[in-house]
Amino acid sequence: MRIRPGSGYGLAMRYELYYWPEIQGRGEFVRLVLEDAGCDYVDVAREPGGVQRLEAVLAGERGGVLPFAPPVLYAGTLMLSQTAAITSFLGERHGLAPNSERDRLGALTIALTIADLVAEAHDTHHPTAVDLRYEQQKPAAKARAAVFCRARIPKFLGYLERNLERNGPVLVGSSISYVDLAAFQVVEGLSYAFPRAMAKLAGDIPKLLALRDRVAQRPRLLRYLTSPRRVPFNEMGIFRHYDELDA
C-alpha cells in the first residue's frame, strides 16, 4: 500500500516504514506522525512480499546497525529503529517538534515515558512470556492487569495530565508535536483495551481527553483515522481487550 499525501514541509523524500501489517502496534505511533506531516511513505509490509522484506531488514540485509525489532524507518540511507527515536526524528524534520532544545528534550522525555506505558500495557496480557499465548498465562495476566488498572494507568495518565496543567493545551511547547500524537494513540489504545477502567478515570484527566479529541480532528489525521488504512485495534496487537482483564 503506497501513500502519497504530499512530501511534507518541502522535504521531498519517500520514507520506508517496516512494521507488521495486521496490527497497529508500535508502528502506529510512527504512522500518525507520517500522516499528520503529509509525508510520502510506503508501509512496506502491507505490500506484496512485504513481510519477507521486513524480515530481511531485521536480519541485517541492508547493513549498518541491526534493528532489534520493528518499527524500522528508512529515510534515504538513514536507518532508525525504536519508536521514540523515529517519531522525534520525524517530528523535528516536519514541524512536529518544539523549537527549543529544552522543549525538544522535554518532548523526548515524555515520549519515552509513553513507551514505558506501552510496554506495561503489553505485559498485562503477556506477563509470563511473550512466546506463550494469552490463554496459557491467564491467571498471571488477570493479576497483572488488576494492578495496571488500579495503579499504573492512573499514574501514567496522571503524569500526562499534570504536564498539560503546567504547560497549557499541549504537552510541550506551544503547538501540537509528535508527543501529543503519541498521547492520543495511547489514550485510544487504553480506551479500547480497558474501557471500564478508563471510564472511571475520565474525571481525573479532562485536559488529556480534550487533547485526544483535538488531535483526532486534525485534518490529515482525521482523513487517515476514518480510512481503511487505519487498522482497527485487535487481539493480536499491544492494546487488547479481554473483558476479564478490564477491572
In the chain, what are the domains?
A: 2-93 (3.40.30.10), 101-218 (1.20.1050.10)
Query: Virtual CA dihedral for 25, 156, 106, 76, nearest 10 degrees?
Result: 0
Residue 47, C-beta contacts closer than 8 angstroms, at least 6 positions apart: 1, 2, 53
- Whole-model pTM: value is 0.94
CB-neighbour burial class of residue 2 (10 A; exposed 0-12, middle 13-18, buried 19+): exposed
Instruction: Say what the pLDDT of residue 2 is.
Output: 44
Residue 6 in this model has a pLDDT that exceeds 50: no
Cell numbers 521486513 label which residue? Answer: 54
d(CA 102, CA 48): 43
Q: Which helix (H) or strand (E) holds 15?
A: strand 14-18
Of residues 6, 162, 187, 161, the one with CA closest to residue 95: 6
Residue 191 in this model has a pLDDT that exceeds 50: yes
Quote the DSSP letter at residue 233. Answer: P
**In terms of pLDDT, which residue wins out, 11 or 70?**
70
**Adjacent-strand bridge partners of 17:** 43, 73
Instruction: Say what the pLDDT of residue 64 is.
Output: 86
Residues 140-154 have a mean pLDDT of 98
Residues 66-83 have a mean pLDDT of 96
Average pLDDT, the chain: 95
